[in-house]
Chain A
Amino acid sequence: MKAPLSLLAGAALLLLLTAATLAGPLLLPDPEAMDLAVRLGPPSADHLLGTDELGRDVLARLVQGGRVSLAVAALTATLAALFGTAIGLLAGYVGGRIDSALMRLTDGVMALPLLPLLIVLAAADPVRLGIPPDLAASEPVAVARLAIIVACVSWTGVARLVRGSTLSVRARDHVRAAEALGAGPMRVMVRHILPDVASPVVVAATLSVGHVILIESALSFLGLGLRPPLASWGNMLTGAMDVVWTAPAMAIWPGAAIFITVLAFNLLGEGLQRRLAPSLCRR
C-alpha cells in the first residue's frame, strides 16, 4: 500500500521543523540578547530575519519559540489523549447511564465557546493555589500549567473516537472470550480493547495537535499563555501587532511558523487516518 501524499508531506515538514528547533540554538545568536542600536533592523548577515522592537534576533527567537510551542503542544496532546482515551473506553465499554452521562459531558464541552473559558482558566493565579511565586514563574511550571489548561478542553475529539471504536471492539470474539474467562472490566479494557483502539487514538491525537497549537498561540497572543521574556510564536505576534504600522514585516514570520506547523500536523493526521483507520475517514 502506497503511503498517502499528505502523510509524507506532513512528516517531512515536521522533521524539518524539529531539526530546525534542535539545531538552531547551536548556530544562532542568543534569543534574549538585546542590541538597542539595531531595533527593528532589516535582515542582514548577522540577523537573517532582522531584529525586533528590542533589538533581539528574530530568527533565534523564532527557533526558541518553536521549541517551546512544540513542547507545549506535545505535552498537551499527550495529556488530552490520555484523558480522552480513559473517558472513551469507560463510556464505550461500560455503556448505559455512565455512557450517556460521559457523552453528554463531552458534547457539552464541545459546544462551549472555549476561548473565553480558557481566558478565565488562564487568568487564575497559581500563587493562590498554594504554589510558591518563584516556582510558579519558572519555565517548566509555566509550560505545564498551560498544557494542563488547554488539555482540559481538548480531550473531546479523542473521547468520541475511542468510544465509537470501543463499541465495535467490545462485541468481538477475543473480548467475549476474555470476559468468559473471568477477566475483570479493568483488565478487559486495558489488555483487550485498548490495543485494538490504538490507531484511532494515534489519529485523533495527531489531529488534535494542530488545534492545540492554535489555542496555545491564541492564548499567548492575548498575553495569557507563555509570557515574555520566554519567546513563543503567539507572544511574538503581540509585539509585532504594536509595531505593525512601522515594521509590518515583523508580523509575517511567527504566524507563518504557526501556520506551517499546524498545517504539517493536520496533513500528517489525515495521512495517518487514511493509512491506519480508513473507516474513520468520514467523521
Chain B
Amino acid sequence: MALGLIRPVVSRLGQSALVLLAMSFVVYGLMGLMPGDPIDLMIAGDPRLTAADALRLKALYGLDRPWIERWLGWLTQALQGEFGYSRLYALPVAAAMLPAIANTALLMVSALTLSLAIAIPLGLWAARKPGSAADILVNLLAFASVSVPVFWLGLMLIVLFSVSLGWLPAGGLNTIGGPDSLGDRLAHLALPVSTLALAGLGQFARHMRAAMIVESGRDYIRTARAKGCSPVRVLLRHQLRNALLPVVTIVALEIGGLFSGALVTETVFAWPGMGRLIYASVMGNDFNLALSGLLLATAMTLVGSVLADLAYWQLDPRVRGR
C-alpha cells in the first residue's frame, strides 16, 4: 500500500500547508484590529514613558511598519521555529503550548473513543429494525445529542455530579496539592470527556444507522446468509465492516467540530488545553501565542483528517488502486 499512498498524502499535506499560510495572513491582519495595543499597555503600566519613548518602542518592535511587512517578518521567523514570546505566560510560545497540546489531545482522543464506543452499538441496534421502538429511541437520542449546547451539558453534569452528588471534581487536571494518582486524574477526566463524547455521539450514531441500513440490502449479505453464516457473523464480519467506512469519513470531517467542542468544554471545566489557551491569549492581547495557538489547532485538525483518510485507505482496498 505504501507507494500508492505517497502522492495523495503529499498533495493533502501541501494543501494543508496552503490553508495554514492563508490563515496566518488573515489572522495576522485581524490581530491588528483587536482592542489594546502592546505599546499602549506598556504606557499604561509605566507613567514615566513619554510619547517619544512610545515611538522609539514602536520602531524597536517594528510596529511602525505596514502589517504585510510585519507578517513576512513573522513568517520568516516562524519557519525557523521561532514563534516569539508569550507575554501572558512569560514563556517562549512553544513552551507555553506544549503541555496544552498534550492535555487537549488526551481530552479529544478519549472523548472520540468513548463517543464511537457508544454510537456504533447504538447505530447497529437502531438499524436492526427501521421504524421500531429501538430505532425511534436512538433517533431521539441522536437529535438530543446534536442539539445540546456543549457548555450547558457540561454545566448540567457539574450540577448533578459535583454540586448535588459530590461524586466527581468539577474542574482542573488533578486535585491541587493532593497526591498525584491515576485515580485522581481519571476522576478529573470523567466529566469533560463525558460532556464532549455525549455531544458528539448523535452524529456518529445517525451515520452508523444509515450505513447499516444501506448495507443490509446488498447482495453479499444475501450470499453470506445463503451459505449458512450465523446472523451474528453476517452482522459483525460482513455488514459492519462495510458500514464503518462512511463513519470513518464523518470522523475525519468532524475533527474540527470536535476541537470547537473541546474549547468550550475546556472553558467550563478549567481544563488547561489548547482551546482555553487560545481563548485566554485572544482575551489577554497575547498576539504571538494567539496566532501560533490558532495555527497549531488548525494544523492538528488538518493532520487529524489526513490520518482519518489514511485509515480509510487502509480499510477499503477499492480506493487504494486509484
Contact = CB atoms under 8 A, between A and B. Distances in A.
A and B associate in one complex: yes
Interface string A236-266: 0100110011001001101110110011001
A114 B260 contact: yes
Contacts of A240: 155
Interface in B123-152: 143-144, 146-152
A258 B152 contact: yes
A244 B294 contact: no
Interface stretch (B28-36, B49-57, B110-118): B28-36
A273 B264 CA distance: 30
What is the interface residue range for chain B against chain A? 35 or more
Contacts of B310: none
Contacts of A113: 256-257, 259-260, 263, 297-298, 301
Interface stretch (A19-27, A82-90, A119-127): A119-127
A218 interface: yes
A116 B259 contact: yes
Contacts of B164: 248
A217 interface: yes
Contacts of A282: 210, 214
A217 B153 CA distance: 13
A114 B35 contact: no
A118 B153 CA distance: 21
Nearest to A265: B147
A128 interface: yes
B264 A244 contact: no
Contacts of A111: 19, 253, 255-256, 301-302, 305
Contacts of B153: 255
A124 B35 CA distance: 7
A255 B147 contact: no
B256 A114 contact: yes
Contact of B151 (A117, A218, A267): A218
B251 interface: no
A123 B34 contact: yes
B163 interface: yes
Contacts of A104: 15
B260 A115 contact: yes
Contacts of B279: 116, 119, 222
B152 A259 contact: yes
A223 B152 CA distance: 15
A251 B163 CA distance: 12
Contact of A244 (B34, B159, B305): B159
Interface in A15-62: none
B158 interface: yes
Contacts of A251: 152, 155-156, 159
A6 to B, nearest CB: 8
B247 interface: no
A110 interface: yes
Contacts of B150: 214, 218
Interface string B78-115: 00000000000000000000000000000000000000
B215 to A, nearest CB: 13
A124 B143 contact: no
Interface string B297-315: 1100110010000000000
A64 to B, nearest CB: 18
A266 B278 contact: no
B283 A263 contact: no
Contacts of B27: 117, 120
A244 B155 contact: yes
A241 B171 CA distance: 12
A114 B262 CA distance: 12
B268 interface: yes
Contacts of A256: 152
Contacts of A234: 149
Nearest to A5: B136
Contacts of B282: 119-120, 123
Contacts of B143: 263, 266-267
B267 interface: yes
A103 B33 CA distance: 29
B302 A119 contact: no
A120 B290 contact: yes
B275 interface: yes
A139 B283 CA distance: 22
A262 B147 contact: yes
Contacts of A125: 33-35
Contacts of A254: 152
Interface string A115-159: 111011101110111000000000000000000000000000000
Given A113-B298, A116-B278, A218 B149 contact: yes
Nearest to A219: B264
Given A244-B155, A258-B152, A112 B33 contact: no
Given A116-B259, A116-B260, 14 more contacts: A112-B19, A113-B301, A115-B264, A116-B279, A116-B294, A116-B297, A123-B283, A218-B149, A218-B260, A221-B151, A255-B149, A255-B153, A262-B149, A282-B210
25 contacts: A111-B253, A112-B301, A113-B259, A114-B256, A114-B260, A115-B264, A115-B275, A116-B260, A116-B279, A120-B282, A123-B34, A124-B30, A210-B146, A210-B147, A217-B151, A218-B149, A221-B151, A222-B279, A237-B152, A241-B268, A245-B163, A248-B164, A251-B156, A252-B159, A259-B149
